[in-house]
A and B are shown apart, each in its own frame.
Chain A
Amino acid sequence: MATTLNIPLVRSGRQHRRRRAAAVTAALAVVALCLVVVTMMVGSYYVSPVDVISSVLGIGSDPTNDFIVRDLRLPTASAGLGVGIALGMSGFVFQKLLGNPLASPDFVGVSSGASLFAVTSIVILDASSTRISGSALIGAVLTSFLIYLLAWRGGISGYRFVLIGIAVSQFMVSIIGYIVSRAQIYEAREAMAWLVGTVGQAGAGELRTLLVALLVLVPLALALERPLRTLELGDDTARALGSRVEASRLALLAVSIVLVGLSVAVAGPIMFVALIAGPIAQRLAGSAGGVLAAGLVGAIIVLGADLVAQQVLPTSLPTGVVTGIIGAPYLLWLLATVNREGRGG
């Protein structure tokens, strides 16, 4: 039997998949970085790409450029990058864990839970920026816990999780409405602007928290990608392969929930990014593409959407309006095809 083994076929197939994923991921990283630079170039005052890079690296010679790039535009650009990576990665992990393309954190209520807590702390507690981060994080964790508890029937089915998540999401949204209606007019306007989601409003404290968290959580998510690749085959298969299902799933959920909570604290609930980033990354990079590619696609969507919202459209809009315009048709398409193929359950 050994003589007929077609090892070159197996090796070349595997290498082809790996190279494609690596090349696509690298290309996505380049595009994301270019968008970061472009975000810092354009605006009411144009800065050349060379000046942007030298300002960011601290070797610029023009104090005006330094001020515009580092103080005004760098926060927005790094918020776009960080929020996009966080949303893309967490959406990918949720969809894989629950085996359902609808199961992204913004769709199943994790984002709305984070929003509820953040809005409450803005409107009622008049909280400082670290408090807003903290409460969004607590909101994300508590909401996920609630959904998990309600969806648990001796195990988690993706379909039930999604349905209960949507219900919880609506519940949170209605409480948000109540809280906003109780607020002073100025606070209400601030909360409403925040609720659409935009990267330009990032507070320095929340942003720093997110970026530091990413330094820890991105490597952790990459390390957890190996068990994730067994979990997406179903719990029984994963266990039979020797994967520690409960521990891995808990760790993956925890990483994703923290990423969602912190990104909501920075930019508000920017809708649809977590929903569409994973499938796009998978389409581009193939099945060997993973959580990093999804994060980079998320960053490209957020940065691109913010550029469109700020520069292309006649009046500057929140980022979430543009991602909504891209995401809503995708969602309709997804609902149509999922039902047709019977993958919803």
Chain B
Amino acid sequence: MTSHDLRAQNLTLGYAETDIVTALDVEIPDGRITVIVGANACGKSTLLRGLARLLRPRAGAVILDGTSVQDMRSIDVAKVMGLLPQSPVAPDGISVGDLVGRGRYPHQGWFRRWSAEDDIAVAAALEATGTAELEDRNIAELSGGQRQRVWVAMALAQDTDLLLLDEPTTFLDINHQVELLDLLTDLNRASGKTVVIVLHDLNLACRYADHIIAMKKGSIVAEGAPADVITAEVVTDVFGLACEVVPDPVSGTPMIVPRGRHHAAPAVVETLA
């Protein structure tokens, strides 16, 4: 992995008439796992899409290694930075091997078609995601967890130093969520790949993030190591949720315990009051 510098400067993004992300500055730490959290419609997915050059900035810029991504050719960006969107579309009847192979698009050209290097990258992606035995299976036959691993494999086959994932755990049960986040951690630790993930689950975000970014209404409210950043006040501010933050019994990272209105044990209410 070569080291990269991805940052946004004064970035404003939006759709139609509304600005979703406003005048945002952020720096993505190289070689780490960054997780972006926030309430629905806070602009976290929009920020991720902006970083990946899927949206043209209204103002400001996304800078990759000193150059605005808008000034780079799309194919050159795609060699350095990959993105797994929230809901990718699997064409009818496509097999796992074929789909993962399509991640090689930016490395091929009109005259440079399939090479041994492409086979190696696809094999490595299948291996890393444990999907090699599914190679000739039809995507439609797979379970949700398997399918998500195949999509991650396609993004891995792209062989980029930066990998951005938009809510990759959304349709997975808790077991597969943990499995996928473990896999992304493996990739980060083994190869130093920079990983940026938009996640809904705050507890998992705190556990897996080296660097967490909390967003509210298109701006960053707090960022840093989860242990430094995620406090009850921040969670209440970002999500409007009254809660306690306790150490995660497994990892020691912050764990959010919502208060709610109904289920607090009388003894606990005493101590909180």
Contact = CB atoms under 8 A, between A and B. Distances in A.
A243 to B, nearest CB: 7
A237 B89 contact: yes
Contacts of B158: 240-241
A11 B120 CA distance: 9
A240 B126 contact: no
A233 B78 contact: no
B95 interface: yes
A6 B126 contact: yes
Interface string B111-122: 000100001101
A242 B102 contact: no
B124 interface: yes
Contact of B77 (A14, A154, A233, A242): A242
Given A230-B102, A239-B74, A287 B95 contact: yes
Interface of A is mostly: helix
Interface residues of A, number: 38
Interface in A85-116: 96, 99, 101
Given A5-B124, A241-B102, A14 B114 contact: yes
A49 interface: no
Nearest to B16: A154
Given A244-B74, A283-B93, A10 B122 contact: yes
Interface in A1-20: 1-2, 4-7, 9-11, 13-14, 16-17
A145 to B, nearest CB: 21
B201 to A, nearest CB: 22
A285 B169 CA distance: 34
Given A7-B120, A13-B136, A234-B88, A242 B95 contact: no
B110 A13 contact: no
Given A240-B54, A242-B76, 15 more contacts: A1-B190, A2-B124, A9-B126, A11-B119, A13-B97, A14-B119, A17-B95, A101-B92, A234-B89, A237-B88, A240-B81, A240-B83, A287-B91, A287-B93, A287-B98
Interface of B: 15-16, 49, 52-54, 73-79, 81-95, 97-99, 101-103, 105-106, 108, 110, 114, 119-120, 122-124, 126-128, 132, 135-136, 155, 158, 190
